Amino acid sequence: MGAVRVTSDVMTEPLVALGPAWPKMSMADATAVLTAPGARFEMETVTIRGVPTRVWKNAPNDLGVLLDLSRTHGARLFTILDDDRISFEANWRAAAALAHALQDMGVGKGDRVAFAMRNLPEWPMVFFAITTIGAIAVPLNAWWTGAELAYGIRDSGAKVVIVDGERIERLRDHREELDGVARWIVARGGADEDAAALEDIVGAPASWATLPDIARPVVAIDPDDEATIFYTSGTTGNPKGALGTHRNLMSNILSGGFSAARSFLRRGEAIPDPQPRTTLTVIPMFHVTACSASLMGSMAAGNTTIFMRKWDVVQAMEIIAREKVNVTGGVPTIAWQLIEHPDRANYDLSSIEAIAYGGAPSAPELVKRIYEEFGALPGNGWGMTETMATVTSHSSEDYLNRPTSAGPAVAVADLEIRDDDGVTVLPTGTVGELWARGPMIVKGYWNKPEATAETFVDGWVRTGDLARLDDEGFVYIVDRAKDMVLRGGENIYSSEVENALYEHPAVTDCAIIGIPHRTLGEEPAAVVHLAPGMSASEGELQDWVRARLAAFKVPVAVHFVADTLPRNANGKILKKDLKALFADRAS
């Protein structure tokens, strides 16, 4: 793909009237104030793997320091799942006890400990027990099959494996082949003669607060020591393990705080002292958005995290009303379901201050409705497993002002748009491949030197996303390189067509995919989910897009589905699964 300058008739204007008094401060001035010497978000330059890199000067050194910081929140609730209500102090005691037990099992610095479970109170406790002794946590995708879980365990070389009862059952036929695993530990059922019960080591979550107050193991950890292996959600071949460091995870704490503070300055308001919030987390903890972007900040700020066994919009509204939830989200589908549920008025959702999501593009209309119907501020951003989540952050009035953007980079990160050669930096407004660098970029791929060399270059990660930057540094993701539709030599960016469809009042979920054509190569087709009680025909939606975009971008077919589109655990639409819907279409 050569460099392409994009212009589009798709809505990019502000969704609500923000008034001539906004913004009170430019992006550059806000960044200068927040990062000034002595300020909370002061930066410094350190050398990471031979590359001088801007970092947050006041970020915690490592996950052990963060765990100790979290203990200062004492009896405040850390996690809630049904009847389990775990305080920060209780979590600290259980993590310290498990850390000692892991050391007694021979786990040391650099050893891998894999774990796979639902969003349980045990999940963050296990994560910190592993990482605070210098071992490498390997959070496996709890949605994987037994064979896929076995692959992650084997690929990572895990010495100890901790799973819940459901995952041990999936692994039942694979355990003999995993002879590199020295110890198996099972939470909430499924223990046997070869697998210990986690409850026999630290007790059930309800009893963690009564564990002995013993000093946790302290291991010398450098910020750039390895801490995690998160497996990518690759759509071809085996997933790759992104090797993260303590600095990667700690950077997210300050990145999130910086973005929130910048919004206050842009609004002309004083930055308030941080206040603990209550968050309903429905995305899996094994995804970097939940673990790195959310959990790290919650540990520092004293936020309460509520889990659900499975997403259910009615149950979610009950929880929001009962627990006075301040923040929720995850993927756009969740926000749509909260907005459109016919019984929403029966629940007091007034505590909601923000609805944030990532992993998938969202309709500009959703941004507006979150603001107007909930009185809440919308939030979005861009990152990937290879960036340990947050590189850009987009929220509040800036999001309302640029609803199709993923926001600007945080102060310690840099973004560039490069041409196919991977070297030439393209001008503002030109579409090319997005490259990113900063202290959040992972070390590389576990045991995959060739893939690492191809993706990580001199501190930069080549993302595979096609994007453009505007003159203030806001990034617009237009497509994944592999998802772009190439019709007769013309590039069609799926997000551009999807945004046009999202403007239609009946469309709440959609995806554009390429279907084969004998002479043109590919043509765009749409898969659409309509809002409850709404209707639209194929021709109506085609005319709708035709009125907004060039004719060659109009979907040649529209397939309507009764449910929201299939997504992976990271919230990305599984476009490869949608192609079968058009298998009988001759071209």
Is residue 538 within 8 A of residue 558, CB to CB? The reply is yes
For residue 539, which amino acid is it? G
**Lowest-pLDDT range, 35-49, 176-190, 403-417, 564-578?**
564-578
pLDDT for res 233: 65
Q: What gap in Å lies between CA 91 and CA 188, rounded to an integer?
A: 17
Going by DSSP bridges, is the β-strand pair 112-116/84-87 parallel, antiparallel, or unpaired? Answer: unpaired
Mean pLDDT within 393-406: 90
Q: What gap in Å lies between CA 395 and CA 406, rounded to an integer?
A: 9
The percentage of residues in the chain with a pLDDT greater than 90, rounded to a whole number, is 72
Is residue 25 within 8 A of residue 12, CB to CB? The reply is no
418 vs 585 pLDDT, higher one: 418
Tell me how far CA of residue 308 lies from CA of 83, 167, 270, 571, in angstroms: 11, 18, 35, 17
| Position 474 pLDDT exceeds 80 | yes
Mean pLDDT within 78-90: 98
Q: Quick one: pLDDT band at residue 573, thresholds 50, 70, 90? A: confident
Q: Quick one: pLDDT band at residue 9, thresholds 50, 70, 90? A: very low
Tell me how far CA of residue 354 lies from CA of 96, 327, 575, in angstroms: 33, 5, 29
Range list of β-strands (E), 22-159: 43-48, 51-56, 77-81, 84-87, 112-116, 136-139
The domains found in the chain, sorted by start residue, are 13-58+243-480 (3.40.50.12780), 63-221 (3.40.50.12780), 491-582 (3.30.300.30)
Q: What is the pLDDT of residues 187-203, one digit of tens each?
A: 999 888 899 999 999 99
Candidates 126, 99, 298, 104; CA nearest to 205 is: 126
**Lowest-pLDDT range, 155-164, 197-206, 498-507, 517-526?**
517-526
567 vs 84 pLDDT, higher one: 84
Q: What gap in Å lies between CA 349 and CA 338, rounded to an integer?
A: 10
pLDDT for res 171: 96
Q: Quick one: pLDDT band at residue 24, thresholds 50, 70, 90? A: very high
Which pair of structure tokens corresponds to residue 92?
């600290």
Cβ neighbour number for residue 28 with a 10 Å cutoff: 10
Q: In what order do the strands lie in the sheet with 195-197?
A: 195-197, 183-187, 160-164, 112-116, 136-139, 226-231, 241-245, 444-445
Mean pLDDT within 350-359: 85
Q: What gap in Å lies between CA 473 and CA 380, rounded to an integer?
A: 16
Q: What gap in Å lies between CA 33 and CA 45, rounded to an integer?
A: 18
Phi, psi of 63 (to 5 degrees): -70, -25
pLDDT for res 10: 37
Q: What is the pLDDT of residues 279-318, one digit of tens each?
A: 999 989 999 999 999 999 999 999 999 999 988 999 999 9
| Position 84 pLDDT exceeds 50 | yes
The percentage of residues in the chain with a pLDDT greater than 70, rounded to a whole number, is 94
Q: Quick one: pLDDT band at residue 336, thresholds 50, 70, 90? A: confident
Which pair of structure tokens corresponds to residue 510?
């959609």
| Position 537 pLDDT exceeds 70 | yes
Is residue 320 within 8 A of residue 280, CB to CB? The reply is yes
Q: What gap in Å lies between CA 165 and CA 185, rounded to an integer?
A: 10
Q: What gap in Å lies between CA 427 and CA 3, rounded to an integer?
A: 9
Find the angle CA(58)-CA(63)-CA(69) to the nearest 5 degrees: 65
| DSSP line for 402-417 | STT--EEBPTT-EEEE
Tell me how far CA of residue 305 lies from CA of 124, 297, 317, in angstroms: 11, 11, 15
Q: Quick one: pLDDT band at residue 557, thresholds 50, 70, 90? A: very high
Average pLDDT, the chain: 91
Q: Quick one: pLDDT band at residue 568, thresholds 50, 70, 90? A: confident
pLDDT for res 8: 35
Is residue 88 within 8 A of residue 74, CB to CB? The reply is yes
H-run or E-run covering 242: strand 241-245
Cβ neighbour number for residue 519 with a 10 Å cutoff: 6
Candidates 377, 323, 379, 380; CA nearest to 349 is: 323
pLDDT for res 156: 98
pLDDT for res 16: 62
